[in-house]
Amino acid sequence: MKKYFLMVAMAALILGGCTLPTKQQPAEPQQPTPPVTVEPGTPETSGQPPVETVPQPPKAQTIDWSASVQPMVAKMLQADGVQAGSVLLLDSVKNSTNGSLPVNKATAALHDALATNNKFQVVPDSQLATAKQALGLSVDDSLGSRSKAIGLARYVNAQYVLYSTVTGDVKAPTLKMQLMTVPSGEIVWSGNGAVQH
C-alpha cells in the first residue's frame, strides 16, 4: 500500500510539472532581450464581420400644399356657371400616387384657401362629422367615391362637391380637382397642376 501511495504521489508530481530537487547548477548570465517593435497595420478582427456604414435615408421632401392649391382654387372661383352663395362640400383629398403623402395637410390647405372666398359657404367640419355618423360612415371616412361624396352633400344640403385627388409619382405628384353639382353630378369645372415642393 505504501508503494502504491508513493507511485501515485510521484506520478502526480511528474504530471504536475514539478521535479524533485536536483543539484543546482551555476546560473548563466542572461542576455537582455531586445525590445519588440510593432509595425502598424490593419487591426486584427476577432472573428467579427467588418462594420459597415449605414447609408442615410433620403430626406423627406416637404410639400407646399398652400402654394399647390391656391392657384387652382382661384381658377375654380372664376369658373362660369357657379352661383355665388352656394354651399360647398369639401371632400378629403385622396392619395392615388405610388407612395405615401400627407393628404390631410392638402385638405387643410384647401379649407384655408376657401375660407375667405365670397362664392362658396364651405360645410363646417363639425356638421360634416355629424352627417357622416348619421349616414353610418366613419368620421375618418375620406368618402373614396364621387357617389358617396354626392350622397353626403345631399344630406347636408350642399349644391356643390369639390373632389380632389393626388396622382402620379410620389416624387412629382399632380393634384387634380373637380367641382361637381350635387343634383346631377355634372362636372362644372376641373383642373390639375403640379404639387409644389
Q: How does strand 187-194 pair with strand 174-181? A: antiparallel
Percent of the chain with pLDDT over 90: 43
pLDDT tens-digit readout, 11-67: 766 766 655 555 555 556 666 677 767 666 655 555 666 777 777 665 556 899 999
CB atoms within 10 A of CB 88: 22
Number of DSSP helices (H) and strands (E) in the chain, helices first: 5, 6
Percent of the chain with pLDDT over 70: 71
The pLDDT assigned to 92 comes to 87
- Domains annotated on the chain, with CATH: 65-194 (3.40.50.10610)
C-alpha cell at 110: 384647401
Residue 135 DSSP symbol: T
The pLDDT assigned to 35 comes to 72
The pLDDT assigned to 191 comes to 95
pLDDT tens-digit readout, 117-133: 889 999 998 998 888 88
